[in-house]
């Protein structure tokens, strides 16, 4: 394993910075030195973090109105004329315009970055209609679409920088709620590579987005029982890091995935496909089990839908029990 997680990252507490705010600030900074960047917004910039870009780069901020289909396909036209468009809206509205993302962006291989805030039950009080639990699966199925879901504010800033530097269409989740900080530095972000945050031989927990912090907390719970868990921030859902999964499967023989998403087709699906092809081992999938979300505070909903650290730890114990003797 290339990563050397000797000093296991410690949770350094919840900050006021959500992933969406971290995204917006980082993008505004990037645009200071990259004139190619333009941002498209559908009357929701205050919610997506794009307001930071609007304040600093008014002339490159394109207000599209509440019209996501036109916004998504227009971005392809902007890319075709040499801009690097960043489409910003809520994840559910990216699903609304997914056919435009498919045909006008991905099929035409246009260099558009689709940045989706408000994914998963982390959305909280707005309820089931607003909580995208299908987006990773849907966008992952589009040929040529890279799919990212960073874990904390520094990871987010590194991810948007990598996404802008990357030539090709990307779908990336941010997040609504204040994020638990995981990284003190994040200067080694690489699209397509998982990052091993903690090394343990008994089980590997593969997580993305808000679930990474919970996976680290789950590893602490497991350590109390003498179980050594690896924890991976799998910020790239597609292309999935086959080499890392193969190695973890070989070394631990038990995998748990954790995501704020339907357990069908997202990170769990990507990991299961990879394991089945390269190095099969028992796996458990933590996520929302093919249901819609509902209103509630994000922490309450994590309890309700089984996305908490104890739920991840329980899945780890189950999968360890399934290991071949």
Partner 1 sequence: MTLLAAETLPETLAPHAVSFPYLASLAVTTRRLAIAGIFNAGSGHPGGSLSSADLLAALYGAELYIPGGDATNPVRDRFVLSKGHAAPALYGIWAAMGWLSPEEAVTLRHRDSRCQGHPHVLDLPLSEASTGSLGQGFSVAIGMALGTRMKGLSSRAYALLGDGELQEGEVWEGAMFAAHHDLSNLLAVIDYNKLQSDDLNANICGLEPLASKWRAFGWHAIEIDGHDLPEIIGAFAAASRVTDRPTVVIAHTVKGKGVPYMENEAPWHGSVKLTRDQASEALLALGVAADRLEDWIHGRIA
- Please report where in the chains the tokens 């699906």 appear, as a residue: 269
Pairing mode, if any, of strands 61-63 and 195-198? unpaired
Question: In terms of CB distance, is 81 or 324 closer to partner 1?
Answer: 81
Residue 81 binds partner 1, judged by CB under 8 A = yes
How far, in Å, CA of 124 to CA of 281, rounded?
34
Stretch that binds partner 1, among 45-53, 100-108, 119-127, 197-205 (CB under 8 A): 100-108
Structure tokens that stand for 218 in this block: 């789950």
Residue 39 binds partner 1, judged by CB under 8 A = no
Residue 95 binds partner 1, judged by CB under 8 A = no
**28, 31, 45, 74: which one binds partner 1 (CB under 8 A):** 74
Quick one: residue 120, left, alpha or beta (phi over 0 = left, psi -120 to 50 = alpha)? left
DSSP one-letter string for 46-114: HHHSTHHHHHH-GGGEEE--S-HHHHHHHHHHHHHTT-EEEEEEEHHHHHHTHHHIIIIIIITT---EE
Stretch that binds partner 1, among 19-27, 78-86, 145-153, 249-257 (CB under 8 A): 78-86
Q: Of 207, 232, 188, 158, which is closest to residue 8 (Cα–Cα)?
A: 232
**8, 11, 44, 80: which one binds partner 1 (CB under 8 A):** 80
Residue 34 binds partner 1, judged by CB under 8 A = no
CB 67 within 8 A of CB 131: no
**Span 105-144, contacts to partner 1 by CB under 8 A:** 107-109
Stretch that binds partner 1, among 82-90, 124-132, 193-201, 278-286 (CB under 8 A): 82-90
Q: How many residues bind partner 1 (CB under 8 A)?
A: 28
Question: In terms of CB distance, is 75 or 191 closer to partner 1?
Answer: 75
Residue 45 binds partner 1, judged by CB under 8 A = no
> What are the residues binding partner 1 (CB under 8 A)?
38, 60, 62, 64-65, 67, 69-70, 72-83, 85, 99-100, 103-104, 107-109
């Amino acid at each position: 394993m290339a990563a050397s997680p000797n000093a296991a990252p410690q949770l350094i507490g919840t900050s006021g910075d959500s992933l969406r705010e971290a995204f917006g600030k980082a993008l505004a900074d990037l645009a200071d030195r990259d004139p190619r960047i333009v941002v498209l917004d559908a009357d929701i910039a205050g919610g997506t973090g794009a307001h930071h870009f609007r304040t600093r780069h008014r002339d490159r901020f394109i207000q599209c109105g509440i019209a996501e289909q036109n916004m998504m396909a227009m971005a392809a036209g902007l890319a075709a004329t040499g801009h690097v468009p960043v489409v910003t809206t809520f994840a559910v509205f990216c699903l609304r315009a997914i056919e435009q993302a498919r045909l006008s962006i991905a099929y035409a291989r246009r260099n558009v970055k689709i940045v989706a805030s408000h994914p998963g039950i982390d959305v909280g009080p707005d309820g089931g209609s607003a909580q995208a639990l299908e987006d990773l699966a849907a966008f992952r199925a589009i040929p040529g679409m890279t799919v990212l879901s960073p874990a904390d504010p520094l990871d987010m800033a590194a991810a948007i920088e990598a996404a802008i530097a990357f030539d090709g269409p990307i779908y990336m989740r941010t997040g609504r709620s204040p994020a638990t900080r995981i990284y003190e530095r994040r200067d080694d972000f690489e699209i397509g590579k998982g990052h091993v945050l903690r090394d343990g031989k008994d089980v590997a927990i593969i997580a993305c987005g808000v679930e990474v912090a919970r996976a680290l907390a789950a590893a602490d719970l497991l350590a109390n029982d003498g179980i050594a868990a690896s924890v991976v921030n799998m910020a790239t859902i597609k292309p999935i890091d086959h080499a890392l999964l193969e190695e973890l499967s070989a070394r631990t023989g038990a995998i748990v995935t954790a995501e704020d998403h339907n357990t069908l087709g997202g990170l769990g699906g990507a990991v299961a496909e990879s394991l089945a092809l390269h190095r099969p081992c028992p796996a458990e999938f933590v996520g929302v089990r093919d249901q819609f979300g509902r209103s509630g505070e994000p922490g309450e909903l994590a309890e309700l839908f089984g996305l908490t650290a104890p739920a991840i730890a329980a899945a780890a114990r189950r999968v360890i029990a399934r290991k071949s003797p």
